[in-house]
Chain A
């Protein structure tokens, strides 16, 4: 509640409307993340409107990285909740520290001696204090004094009950703890939820979020990304590399190469001192971008064959790959 005015104030200086989303894009770029227009616009809106963002897209397009970059760009600390099957309140919200509570009860009853009965109520109040509360990521994000970026990663891995529990956090930015009362957010956290779309999320959750679909970037953008993370790489080679990655992604693979793997591959080529991607280099380093036995065969057959056979034969190479 108290933080609502602060967002309104935040919207104030933004009045020259054109600058807002470009500013977000530039800030992200400065943090080492080259966002496309829709990604930077939605991030911008999320900050302005104080709404969570649901980011969906294939694995490895930089969904998690976007949250990290936002945290760097805004200077807010990142709190991350990695979701998995069977994740429950105790791991996501808060948990009572049973052991400490037991100890306290034993200590109290020992101190009270034989007529320990009247102390019961006091102990009861006592052991449900903040001292015995273990904060988990969601509560930590809500209770934090400074504004944070909260990343709820792979929300589609959890079950629907967990989603329902998130609703209170996401729409009102508060958490009800029966024994303590309601914890309200000091400042509205910037929330990103990522999903691989492996399961349909509930309408109720989607309703509370802005939606962003991230896809593999265009060739130009990916070249920029690769060059940003492997600055020593030759420009032509970077472009060639991204084109080959594009060819690999075209195939029906179990796991298409992600952007991170493009970068890894670029670094590997740098280490090996390769100045050209020929069939031999490709076959030797292929395992960096392809991680499945069957995929390896397929890629070697469909892509490896089409690359120039050996170095030094530029002319025919251009003809075969073009």
Chain B
């Protein structure tokens, strides 16, 4: 009996690991074996411990852990539901007895909405997961009845949340003193409970599981639209900062192509009677380039470029000199803004307010920008300087002035172009990437943090 049970669990775990693999986690047989061994040592009944044990063996970085948590929730939820469907007719026991509360909810209009809201606030404030789950069921029951269901889970979640008047940071609508403030995190958790309940309802109704969908790439992509959470942007900046700050070390530590430092080797050889047993090498220093960044901040690429500028400025220690410019129709220097402000949000606001780069139409004019840059700044360029352009090369049908850009690249030592669009879209529509690309040292697509990291690596390479 027990053996049969173990087999079943083994199958489940393996298929769980398969799903993790599909989401891009590198899970080998060794990890799967480890996870089997690990779950032997935790009680089955404790969900938190079970999850931690699996996570410790399967998710080997924080990014992985993030994905792991999502897949874990989704997968075990689906597994439980599938089981419930298969046992249809026996009873719907899978819901560990909270069915009763659901029944109570179905019982009726007796639920006082105000009281419900108060209870939900309290549960969120206390961080009480079990209560939140039960209350989410109640909320779905209460609002689902009014025929407001749109059938799309994501839409319904927001609809229920809004009709409950739950917004982050708000106190109760009536401003009562005993109301507790809800934080964004708590609200997000409550939403996930709501979503789960709605999905469960949907499965109950249709009697089958919806198709599994891979997690959206959005989670991994660069913040390219302003609605994305600024906190998430911030997190990725700090991570990049730490990682890039030590980039030079990696190159210094590399064995290939090291040069023997004769003086230090001879000195070390005194220990061994003049026989040079240990070789000393000359340390490699990372290049500290002079950097000129030109960023397109028209609406199509704003967030990506402001994000990119913040990253570069966070890293200003690694460069000898860093000057940044933003442009739409005209070009304007913003180096000082970045030196004064540290807050990503503030910088973003300031640039959009008083960058002074939009002229009449507000459409990007690359040609005019090159001409202006040539005239005003290019005298400062020398072969040691690196020019980085961030933009989508969409000229809105205006003259690209590729010749001016070519002159500019001749003056500078290296020119890199970062395009926040995937390579696939280059040269479609009004994108004139093909006109500029031959003049650059290298052009990169840059729409995930991975791309960005790779790029900064290239720039700092000795």
Give residues in A with beta carbon < 8 Å to B.
11, 14, 17-18, 20-21, 37-38, 41-42, 44-45, 48-49, 51, 53-54, 56, 85-86, 98-99, 102, 156-159, 161, 196-200, 203, 206-213, 252, 298
Q: Which of B52, B62, B239, B242 contacts A42 (CB 8 A)?
A: B52
Q: Which of B30, B49, B272, B273 has the most CB of A within 10 A?
A: B49
B34 on interface, CB distance cutoff 8 Å: yes
Given the known inter-chain contacts A56-B61, A298-B342, please indicate yes or no for A41 contacting B277, CB distance below 8 A: no
In the complex, the answer to whether B255 meets A37 with C-beta atoms within 8 Å is: no
In the complex, the answer to whether A197 meets B53 with C-beta atoms within 8 Å is: no
Give every chain B residue within 8 A of A37 (Cβ-Cβ).
Answer: 48-49, 52
Query: Which residue from chain B places its CB closest to the CB of A205 in the assembled complex?
Result: B60
In the complex, the answer to whether B52 meets A197 with C-beta atoms within 8 Å is: no
In the complex, the answer to whether B243 meets A198 with C-beta atoms within 8 Å is: yes
Q: Which 5 A-B pairs have the closest CB atoms?
A: A159-B253, A206-B60, A198-B246, A210-B56, A211-B60
A53 to B55, CA, bound (A): 12
Instruction: List CB contacts (< 8 Å) of B34-49 with chain A.
Output: 34, 37-38, 41-43, 48-49
In the complex, the answer to whether A45 meets B56 with C-beta atoms within 8 Å is: yes
A196 to B42, CA, bound (A): 28
In the complex, the answer to whether A45 meets B53 with C-beta atoms within 8 Å is: yes
Given the known inter-chain contacts A21-B49, A211-B61, A213-B65, please indicate yes or no for A45 contacting B245, CB distance below 8 A: no
A159 to B43, CA, bound (A): 39
In the complex, the answer to whether A86 meets B253 with C-beta atoms within 8 Å is: yes
In the complex, the answer to whether A199 meets B55 with C-beta atoms within 8 Å is: no
Q: Which of A18, A156, A212 contacts B56 (CB 8 A)?
A: A212
Q: Which of B28, B49, B253 contacts A207 (CB 8 A)?
A: B28
Give every chain A residue within 8 A of B253 (Cβ-Cβ).
Answer: 85-86, 158-159
Instruction: List CB contacts (< 8 Å) of B244-271 with chain A.
Output: 245-246, 249-250, 252-255, 271
In the complex, the answer to whether B52 meets A41 with C-beta atoms within 8 Å is: yes
In the complex, the answer to whether B41 meets A44 with C-beta atoms within 8 Å is: yes
In the complex, the answer to whether A48 meets B61 with C-beta atoms within 8 Å is: no
In the complex, the answer to whether B28 meets A206 with C-beta atoms within 8 Å is: no
Question: Knowing that A197-B62, A200-B243, A210-B34 are A-B contacts, what are 18 other residue pairs whose CB atoms are under 8 Å apart, sorted by A's residue number?
Answer: A11-B41, A18-B43, A20-B41, A38-B56, A42-B52, A44-B41, A48-B41, A49-B34, A85-B253, A98-B277, A99-B272, A198-B245, A199-B243, A199-B246, A206-B60, A207-B31, A211-B57, A212-B56
In the complex, the answer to whether A49 meets B250 with C-beta atoms within 8 Å is: no
Shortest Cβ gap from B243 to chain A (Å): 6
A-B contacts at CB below 8 angstroms, number: 102
In the complex, the answer to whether B252 meets A85 with C-beta atoms within 8 Å is: yes
B-side interface residues, number (CB < 8 Å): 41
Provide a sorted-by-A list of 27 A–B residue pairs whose CB atoms are within 8 angstroms: A11-B41, A14-B41, A17-B43, A20-B42, A21-B49, A37-B52, A41-B52, A45-B41, A45-B57, A49-B38, A49-B41, A56-B62, A85-B249, A102-B273, A196-B242, A197-B61, A197-B239, A197-B242, A207-B30, A207-B60, A210-B34, A210-B56, A211-B57, A211-B59, A211-B61, A252-B238, A252-B343
B26 on interface, CB distance cutoff 8 Å: yes
A157 to B277, CA, bound (A): 25
A48 to B37, CA, bound (A): 9
A11 to B100, CA, bound (A): 40
A53 to B52, CA, bound (A): 14
In the complex, the answer to whether B42 meets A21 with C-beta atoms within 8 Å is: yes
Give every chain A residue within 8 A of B65 (Cβ-Cβ).
Answer: 211, 213
Query: Which residue from chain A places its CB closest to the CB of B57 in the assembled complex?
Result: A210
Given the known inter-chain contacts A207-B30, A210-B57, A211-B60, please indicate yes or no for A159 contacting B254, CB distance below 8 A: yes
A209 to B59, CA, bound (A): 10
Give every chain B residue within 8 A of A14 (Cβ-Cβ).
Answer: 41
A206 to B64, CA, bound (A): 12
Query: Which residue from chain A places its CB closest to the CB of B48 in the assembled complex?
Result: A37
Main secondary structure of the interface of B (DSSP, over half): helix
Give every chain A residue within 8 A of B43 (Cβ-Cβ).
Answer: 17-18
Give every chain B residue within 8 A of A42 (Cβ-Cβ).
Answer: 52, 56
A68 to B322, CA, bound (A): 43
Give every chain B residue within 8 A of A207 (Cβ-Cβ).
Answer: 28, 30-31, 60
Shortest Cβ gap from B239 to chain A (Å): 7
In the complex, the answer to whether B34 meets A51 with C-beta atoms within 8 Å is: yes
Query: Which residue from chain B places its CB closest to the CB of A11 in the assembled complex?
Result: B41
Given the known inter-chain contacts A17-B43, A56-B62, please indicate yes or no for A199 contacting B250, CB distance below 8 A: yes
Shortest Cβ gap from A228 to chain B (Å): 24
Shortest Cβ gap from B24 to chain A (Å): 13
Give every chain B residue within 8 A of A210 (Cβ-Cβ).
Answer: 34, 38, 56-57
A31 to B165, CA, bound (A): 48
Shortest Cβ gap from B235 to chain A (Å): 11
A252 to B242, CA, bound (A): 13
B327-346 CB mask vs A (1 if < 8 Å, else 0) is 00000000000000011000
In the complex, the answer to whether B277 meets A252 with C-beta atoms within 8 Å is: no
A99 to B271, CA, bound (A): 8
Q: Which of A41, A196, A203, A213 has the most CB of B within 10 A?
A: A41
A78 to B57, CA, bound (A): 24
Query: Which residue from chain B places its CB closest to the CB of A196 in the assembled complex?
Result: B242
A11 to B273, CA, bound (A): 54
In the complex, the answer to whether A41 meets B34 with C-beta atoms within 8 Å is: no
A210 to B274, CA, bound (A): 47
A200 to B450, CA, bound (A): 12
Give every chain B residue within 8 A of A20 (Cβ-Cβ).
Answer: 41-42
Query: Which residue from chain B places its CB closest to the CB of A157 in the assembled complex?
Result: B249
A210 to B61, CA, bound (A): 10
Given the known inter-chain contacts A18-B43, A157-B249, A197-B242, please indicate yes or no for A38 contacting B61, CB distance below 8 A: no
Give every chain B residue within 8 A of A38 (Cβ-Cβ).
Answer: 52, 55-56
Shortest Cβ gap from A52 to chain B (Å): 11
A41 to B48, CA, bound (A): 10
Give every chain B residue within 8 A of A211 (Cβ-Cβ).
Answer: 55-57, 59-61, 65
Give every chain A residue within 8 A of B342 (Cβ-Cβ).
Answer: 252, 298
Shortest Cβ gap from B437 to chain A (Å): 29
Give every chain B residue within 8 A of A252 (Cβ-Cβ).
Answer: 234, 238, 342-343
Shortest Cβ gap from A172 to chain B (Å): 13
A68 to B252, CA, bound (A): 31
A17 to B42, CA, bound (A): 6
Q: Which of B31, B245, B246, B272 contacts A98 (CB 8 A)?
A: B272
A288 to B49, CA, bound (A): 37
A212 to B342, CA, bound (A): 31
Shortest Cβ gap from A311 to chain B (Å): 28
Q: Which of A37, A44, A99, A198 has the most CB of B within 10 A?
A: A198
In the complex, the answer to whether B49 meets A49 with C-beta atoms within 8 Å is: no
A143 to B384, CA, bound (A): 53
Give every chain A residue within 8 A of B61 (Cβ-Cβ).
Answer: 56, 197, 200, 206, 211
A203 to B242, CA, bound (A): 20
Give every chain B residue within 8 A of A159 (Cβ-Cβ).
Answer: 250, 253-255
A37 to B255, CA, bound (A): 41
A38 to B277, CA, bound (A): 48
In the complex, the answer to whether A41 meets B252 with C-beta atoms within 8 Å is: no
Give every chain A residue within 8 A of B62 (Cβ-Cβ).
Answer: 56, 197, 213
